[in-house]
């Protein structure tokens, strides 16, 4: 079980509070989606979970399978089974994707045979419709926005996490690429039934492909509404709650 | 690696891959195509490269080095400098486009660690009349510990019909690079080592040449 309890997060060296008493519980095997307009703290949430150096946890706890994550380092959080699929994956010149992933496996005590590692990578690259030389290229270098996301999904299938955070998965992906990526994630979830997913998104289209058990609407650093997929459809139709209120007051004026 | 300590002038007339450790002033003439040269320079020396045909040259150094490059005959030169130091040293590279339609791509990457003070001086010269010449420079130095560094990229261009570019960076590794690798479950130390090696190994290098760089980098990693 992944649990966030009354989490308060600030931007480092400022008084700007982004997450305010944020709470969320995700049971094993559940898929949750968080929707909200720009600037409400959705991406901060994913970074705070991974202990991004730009953010500071002021209060509250994050626990995963009974273990408190607050005092862990980023790599320890990742090795506890959490995988962040970034909104804008970083380009790292000189470090090959295969080298990084193999190091990541070694760090997990899983020093795989090079032959089987390459064989598995090639298989995954093929299913993601990525060129085979991507594994030997510098991480995400020269890849389009969509290919970068696919490359991140490649990392997911190799590292086999039990909790996945998809931060704006659909940004930069065309319709076909989104389907390929979603299919690969769904296949992973089928093969790993206990895996939980936190989807962070503006739009409901990704939720048509990776179906959530719960949808939360976020505003001003906390969850203000929870429902099922119908909440996402309602948001898609009527807009976000806070935004609607502003629009309505504008109309009244 | 071949140890060349005899003649101060070396002529390459046959295509191939050449590996040299140089510890005294040397002139190298590249007179054929398909020549790649892997250098290790020591003892504060001066190298003169006369490039008569397109070539790629790599140099690993922990010392001061001055490299004068003359490019002739529509040749293209790709030059890679890889420097690691914990001392005060200067690497100077002068590129002279001696004929029109000559191309130089100069990439210098350095690590300044401990109490290191690394200076790159990269001067590109395109004289009047050297039309369609291209002079590119990219220099980066990563500072670790108390390491200092400076880069002086200079382009002396006296021909309108030519192209020149330069970029330079000195400073630490970007935190977001470390964060990305750490989110994959790689410890900060291992992530740092990956970045360090990736930064210096700009291109795929032959194994025995890469080993020399690895041995030098080990000193940084183990410090």
Please, which residues have CB within 8 angstroms of residue B35's CB and are 6 or more apart in sequence?
B12, B14, B15, B16, B17, B18, B53, B55
The model's pLDDT over A166-222, given as tens digits with 9 standing for 90+, comes to 999 988 888 888 998 999 999 999 999 999 999 999 888 899 999 999 999 999 999
Confidence at residue A246, expressed as pLDDT on a 0 to 100 scale: 44
Whether A89 has its CB under 8 Å from any CB of chain B: the answer is yes
For range B172-187, the mean pLDDT: 94
Q: How confident is the model at residue B1 (pLDDT cuts 50, 70, 90)?
A: low
Distances (CA, A) of B139 to A54, A68, B69, B151, B220: 28, 44, 17, 7, 20
Confidence at residue A112, expressed as pLDDT on a 0 to 100 scale: 79
pTM higher than 0.90 for the full model? no
DSSP calls for B116-142: -EEEEEEEEEE-TT-TT-EEEEEEEEE
Task: Test B190 with A103 for CB contact under 8 angstroms.
Answer: yes
Contact list, B200 vs chain A (CB under 8 Å): 94
Q: How confident is the model at residue B5 (pLDDT cuts 50, 70, 90)?
A: low
What residue has token string 């594994």?
A: A135
What residue has token string 């931060």?
A: A167
Q: How confident is the model at residue B6 (pLDDT cuts 50, 70, 90)?
A: low
Residue B223 and residue B114 in contact, taking contact as beta carbons nearer than 8 Å: yes
Distances (CA, A) of A51 to A184, B141, B164: 27, 28, 42
CA A28/CA A163 separation, integer angstroms: 8
CA B23/CA A33 separation, integer angstroms: 63
CA B132/CA B130 separation, integer angstroms: 7
What parts of chain A have a pLDDT lower than 70? 242-253
ipTM tops the 0.85 cut? yes
Please, which residues have CB within 8 angstroms of residue B31's CB and are 6 or more apart in sequence?
B11, B12, B13, B52, B53
Task: Test B195 with A99 for CB contact under 8 angstroms.
Answer: no
Whether A99 has its CB under 8 Å from any CB of chain B: the answer is yes
Please, which residues have CB within 8 angstroms of residue A43's CB and are 6 or more apart in sequence?
A87, A167, A168, A200
Q: Tell which of B172, B182, B183, B190 to mutate to test the A interface (max A CBs under 10 Å).
A: B183
A·B CB contacts under 8 A? 74
CA B170/CA B121 separation, integer angstroms: 13
Nearest to B176 among A90, A139, A159 (CB): A90
How, if at all, do strands A17-26 and A2-11 pair? antiparallel
d(CA A107, nearest CA chain B) in Å? 6
Nearest to A107 among B180, B185, B199 (CB): B185
Task: Test B183 with A100 for CB contact under 8 angstroms.
Answer: no
Confidence at residue A250, expressed as pLDDT on a 0 to 100 scale: 42
Task: Test B183 with A138 for CB contact under 8 angstroms.
Answer: no
Whether A93 has its CB under 8 Å from any CB of chain B: the answer is yes
pLDDT, mean over chain B: 94
Residue B81 and residue B109 in contact, taking contact as beta carbons nearer than 8 Å: yes
Residue B57 and residue B37 in contact, taking contact as beta carbons nearer than 8 Å: yes
Which residue in A has a C-alpha nearest to residue B174's C-alpha? A92
Task: Test A100 with B181 for CB contact under 8 angstroms.
Answer: yes
How many C-beta neighbours within 10 Å does residue A25 have? 13
Confidence at residue A253, expressed as pLDDT on a 0 to 100 scale: 34
Q: Is the CA virtual torsion A186, A172, A205, A177 positive or negative? A: negative
Whether B199 has its CB under 8 Å from any CB of chain A: the answer is yes
How, if at all, do strands B134-143 and B103-112 pair? parallel
CA B139/CA B137 separation, integer angstroms: 7
CA B42/CA A39 separation, integer angstroms: 55
Strands (E), chain A: 2-11, 17-26, 31-35, 55-64, 67-68, 82-85, 92-96, 138-139, 163-167, 196-201, 214-219, 222-227
Nearest to B201 among A78, A94, A107 (CB): A94
Q: Is the pLDDT of residue B180 over 80?
A: yes
Whether B172 has its CB under 8 Å from any CB of chain A: the answer is no
Please, which residues have CB within 8 angstroms of residue B199's CB and are 6 or more apart in sequence?
A93, A94, B109, B111, B140, B142, B173
């Amino acid at each position: 079980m992944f649990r966030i309890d009354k989490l308060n997060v600030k931007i480092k060296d400022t008084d700007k509070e982004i997450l305010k008493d944020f709470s969320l519980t995700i049971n094993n095997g559940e898929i949750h989606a968080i929707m909200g307009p720009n600037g409400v703290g959705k991406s901060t949430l994913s970074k705070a979970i991974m202990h991004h150096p730009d953010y500071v946890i002021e209060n509250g706890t994050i626990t995963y399978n009974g273990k408190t994550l607050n005092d862990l380092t980023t790599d320890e959080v990742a090795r506890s089974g959490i995988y962040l699929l970034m909104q804008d994956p970083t380009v790292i010149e000189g470090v090959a994707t295969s080298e990084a992933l193999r190091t990541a496996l070694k760090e997990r005590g899983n020093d795989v045979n090079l032959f089987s590692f390459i064989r598995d990578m090639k298989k995954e690259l093929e299913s993601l419709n990525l060129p085979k030389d991507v594994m030997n290229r510098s991480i995400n270098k020269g890849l389009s926005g969509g290919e970068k996301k696919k490359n991140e999904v490649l990392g997911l299938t190799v590292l086999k996490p039990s909790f996945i955070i998809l931060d704006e998965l659909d940004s930069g992906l065309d319709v076909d690429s989104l389907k390929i990526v979603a299919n690969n994630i769904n296949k992973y979830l089928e093969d790993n039934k206990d895996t939980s997913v936190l989807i962070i998104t503006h739009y409901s289209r990704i939720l048509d492909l990776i179906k959530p058990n719960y949808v939360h609407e976020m505003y001003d650093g906390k969850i203000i509404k929870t429902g099922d997929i119908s909440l996402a459809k309602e948001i898609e139709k009527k807009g976000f709650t806070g935004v609607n209120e502003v629009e309505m007051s504008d109309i009244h004026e | 690696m071949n140890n060349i300590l005899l003649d101060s002038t070396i002529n390459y007339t046959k295509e191939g891959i050449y590996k040299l450790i140089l510890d005294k002033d040397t002139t190298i003439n590249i007179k054929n195509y398909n020549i790649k040269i892997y250098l290790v320079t020591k003892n504060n020396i001066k190298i003169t490269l006369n490039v008569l045909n397109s070539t790629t040259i790599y140099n690993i150094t922990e010392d001061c080095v001055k490299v004068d490059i003359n490019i002739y005959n529509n040749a293209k030169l790709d030059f890679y400098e890889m420097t690691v130091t914990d001392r005060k040293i200067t690497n100077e590279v002068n590129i002279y486009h001696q004929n029109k339609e000559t191309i130089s791509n100069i990439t210098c990457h350095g690590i300044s660690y401990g109490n290191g003070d690394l200076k790159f001086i990269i001067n590109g010269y395109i004289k009047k009349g050297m039309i369609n010449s291209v002079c590119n420079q990219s220099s980066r130095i990563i500072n670790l510990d108390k390491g200092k560094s400076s880069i002086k990229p200079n382009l002396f261009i006296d021909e309108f019909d030519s192209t020149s570019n330069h970029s330079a960076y000195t400073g630490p590794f970007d935190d977001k690079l470390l964060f990305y690798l750490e989110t994959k479950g790689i410890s900060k130390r291992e992530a740092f080592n990956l970045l360090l090696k990736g930064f210096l190994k700009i291109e795929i290098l032959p194994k025995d040449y890469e080993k020399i760089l690895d041995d030098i980098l080990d000193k940084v990693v183990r410090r």
